[in-house]
Amino acid sequence: MSAPWDTTTLAPELDALRRRRAELVESMAALRQALAAPAAGRVAVWQGRAAVALADLSADVHAHLAITEGPDGLHHDVLAVAPRLSHAVGRLTAEHAVLVDLLDGMRAWVSAGPPDAVQALGVDLLDRLARHRRREADLVFEAYETDIGGET
């Protein structure tokens, strides 16, 4: 079954989204690795690595927001071809705000908070990001019947 619209016109946007998703996965893995490193006796080093990983992840999340929520972004295109998905688009947009708030909070707290609490917040953030990525992949598939990769 094919979509009633020509997805070849969206190929550049979908390719950009795929690349951004791959970069997001890499920065998520880097944060997971930084958070998992032992902090005992080396808290300053641990904090530095976690701060760098959070900065990279934050940059990738903001790039994702530009691709999805921008004036010519994915969400705009989805609503144009599949208005029935407006609730899903709204949910993803609301999740973006929550994810940015969590990232900003973690970036501020990584240098001051106890490592175990920062690690717990980081795990929560990464889990939320993984779920968000799956929901977004589902949205694209439902709108265009095109798989952009929902794996985590």
Mean pLDDT, residues 71-82: 90
Confidence label for 146 from pLDDT (cuts 50, 70 and 90): low
**What type of residue sits at position 96?**
H
Mean pLDDT of the chain: 86
Is 117 inside any structural domain? yes
CA distance 152 to 136: 12
CA distance 126 to 29: 9
Is 1 inside any structural domain? no
**In this structure, are residues 103 and 57 in contact, taking their beta carbons and an 8 Å threshold?**
yes
pLDDT in tens, 10-53: 667 778 778 888 999 999 999 999 998 776 778 888 899 999 99
CA distance 44 to 142: 46
Mean pLDDT, residues 106-135: 92
- Tokens encoding 107: 């970036």
**How much is the pLDDT for 10?**
62
**How much is the pLDDT for 2?**
37
Confidence label for 135 from pLDDT (cuts 50, 70 and 90): very high
Those residues whose C-beta lies under 8 Å from the C-beta of residue 36, and which sit 6 or more positions away, are 119
Mean pLDDT, residues 79-97: 95
For residue 98, give the H/E element and its range.
helix 86-109
Q: State how far the alpha carbon of 52 is from the alpha carbons of 5, 12, 59, 71, 111, in Å.
A: 42, 30, 11, 30, 11
**How much is the pLDDT for 41?**
77
Q: 6 in the Ramachandran plot: left (φ > 0), alpha (ψ -120 to 50) or beta?
A: beta
Is 118 inside any structural domain? yes
**How much is the pLDDT for 3?**
43
Residue 150 reports pLDDT greater than 60 = no
Is 2 inside any structural domain? no
**How much is the pLDDT for 99?**
96
Confidence label for 5 from pLDDT (cuts 50, 70 and 90): very low
Is 150 inside any structural domain? no
Number of structural domains found in the chain: 1
Domain that holds residue 65: 7-144
**In this structure, are residues 144 and 18 in contact, taking their beta carbons and an 8 Å threshold?**
no
